[in-house]
Structure 1
């Protein structure tokens, strides 16, 4: 991925697809400047997550119906 320093340590995580869809949908619609943060790195980390989801998954091609279904699935896990 362009802009990523491959010499830096990385971690691998697995996300439930529905979580990834919900995160992506939120990240593309939220104004990151309005999200409360304590440090500029937090905003950058969210932007980096969005970039990874955009370029390394098929998530950007989901329909609104799929987003709605993912939201429903994720919200079922709430206590």
Structure 2
């Protein structure tokens, strides 16, 4: 987990997280990955989803407990936004 968190932090610090929609009920982000292009991360009803292969493979097996580097990157972005408001 620490490696994915570290990789997510690097994506966030490099400015690779873009907001598509930020609402109380739904959040959608575009995360530019270091290797394979862009991934969509969304949060709806407190459930985080990512369309990357890592999340698709592990997320089905570890429902609610797996966080890929793209979700970590978004979490850092959201924390930063909330600290400035």
TM interval, shorter chain, is 0.3 to 0.5
Point out which structure has higher relative CO (alpha carbons under 8 A, 6+ apart).
1
Bigger Rg, structure 1 or 2: 1
Q: Compute the TM-score of the two structures, normalised by the length of structure 1.
A: 0.33
Larger fraction in helix: 1
Which has a greater percent of strand?
2
Normalising by structure 2, what TM-score?
0.31
